[in-house]
Amino acid sequence: MNLILKLIMILTFAFCSKLNASGIEKKVIELGQIVNVPHQKICASILSTAYEKGKITYHINILPGWRSIFETFKGNLDGEVCRYTKFAEEHPNLIKITPPIYFILPTVFSTKDLKLKDISKDTFKDYRVGIIKGLPGFEDYLSKVKNLESVNSIEQLIQMLLLDRIDLFITSRINAIITMKRMGTESKIKYSYSPEKFRTPLYHFLSNKFQSQATELQKILSTMEQSGELNILQKQLEMNEINQAKPQ
C-alpha cells in the first residue's frame, strides 16, 4: 500500500512539474521596441521571422526608448527587440542573442561636398557637428570638436543643417534617409559618407528566464546568417521602409 502511495505521489509530482514547465515554455515573451525608429522596425520584422520559425510566442510593445529600458529593468518586459552590444554590460539579467540581427551604419551628412576619405580624431575638429545623443562608434572621433551639438532627433539635426547652424551631422544611415524622405529634404542634403569601419551591430536581448528560447533563437539566426537569408531579409526590409516613407 505504501509503495502504491509513493508511486502515486511521484507520478503526481512529475505531472505537476511538467505542467509548470509547459506553462513557462508557453508564456508570451513581451519585448520592447523603440517608437518611430526605422532600424527598430527592421529588427522587429527580422525577429518575427525567427520567432515564427521557432514557434515561440511573443508580443512587441512599442514604447519611447527610455520607457522600454525602464520596463525591461523592472522586469515588466522580457527583452529588447535590438540594442547595441554595450546594453549587455548594463543589463546582466539579459542574454545577448548572437549573431547580430541588424546594424547601425553611422553616416556623415552635409549640404557641402566635404570630400572625406578617411576618419581620424582630427577630421571634425574645425567643423560644427551635430549628433544624436547616444550614437555609438564615433565618441573618440569627436573629442577634439569645439562646436558639438547633441540632440534627441534626426529632424532636429536636419533643421539645424538647413539653417546653417551646423556644417554636418552624423547619425544612422537608414534612419536619416527615411527621415529626410518624410521631410522632403533629401534633395537639399546631397553629401553623405559612411565609413564601413564604424558599422555597429545590433543584437536581440532576452531575459535569462528564457534560456531554452534564447538557445533556439541563436540556432535559427545562425542558420539564417549562414544561408544568406538574414542578409537578403535585411536588404528587403530596408527597401520596404524607404519605399513606404512619404513626405508629411
Listed residue (186, 187, 168) closest to 113, CA to CA? 168
Tell me the pLDDT tens digit for each residue of 179-216. 999 999 999 998 999 988 889 999 999 999 999 999 99
Q: What is the pLDDT of residues 160-173, one digit of tens each?
A: 999 999 999 999 99
pLDDT score for 11: 42
pLDDT value at residue 137: 67
Domain assignment present for 17 = no
- Residues 49-66: tens digit of each pLDDT: 999 999 999 999 999 988
Domain span at 182: 106-198
Same domain, 116 and 149: yes
Is 72 within 8 Å of 34 (Cβ atoms)? Answer: no
CB atoms within 10 A of CB 85: 15
The reply to whether 169 and 233 lie within a common domain is: no
Note whether 127 and 181 are same-domain residues: yes
Q: What is the rounded CA–CA span in Å between residue 72 and residue 132?
A: 23
Average of per-residue pLDDT across 85-109 = 93
Question: Domain total for the chain?
Answer: 2
In the chain, pLDDT over 90 holds for what percent of residues?
Answer: 73
What distance in Å separates the CA atoms of residue 216 and residue 231, rounded to the nearest whole number? 20
Cα–Cα distance measured from residue 80 to residue 205, given in angstroms and rounded to the nearest whole number = 5
pLDDT at 22 (0 to 100): 43
Residue 7's pLDDT is 45
Q: Is residue 151 part of a domain?
A: yes
Question: Which pLDDT belongs to residue 2?
Answer: 52
Which residues touch 22 (CB under 8 Å, ≥6 apart)? Answer: none
| 99 cis-preceded (ω within 30 degrees of 0) | yes
pLDDT mean across residues, the chain: 89
Least Cα distance to 237 among 81, 127, 102, 36 occurs for 102
Of 72, 64, 63, 67, nearest in space to 29 by CA: 72
| pLDDT over 90 at 127, yes or no | yes
Q: Check residue 65 and give its pLDDT.
A: 87
* Residue 153 burial (10 A CB sphere; 0-12, 13-18, 19+): middle
Predicted pLDDT of residue 26: 54
Residue matched to cell numbers 547616444? 134
| Average pLDDT value for residue range 101-122 | 92
Cell of 238: 530596408
Burial (Cβ within 10 Å: 0-12, 13-18, ≥19) of residue 180: buried
CB atoms < 10 A from the CB of 10, how many? 10
CATH code of the domain containing 181? 3.40.190.10
Q: Residues near 154 by Cβ (< 8 Å), separated by ≥ 6?
A: 132, 171, 175, 176, 179
Residue 24 falls within a domain, yes or no? no
Q: What is the DSSP letter of 26?
A: T
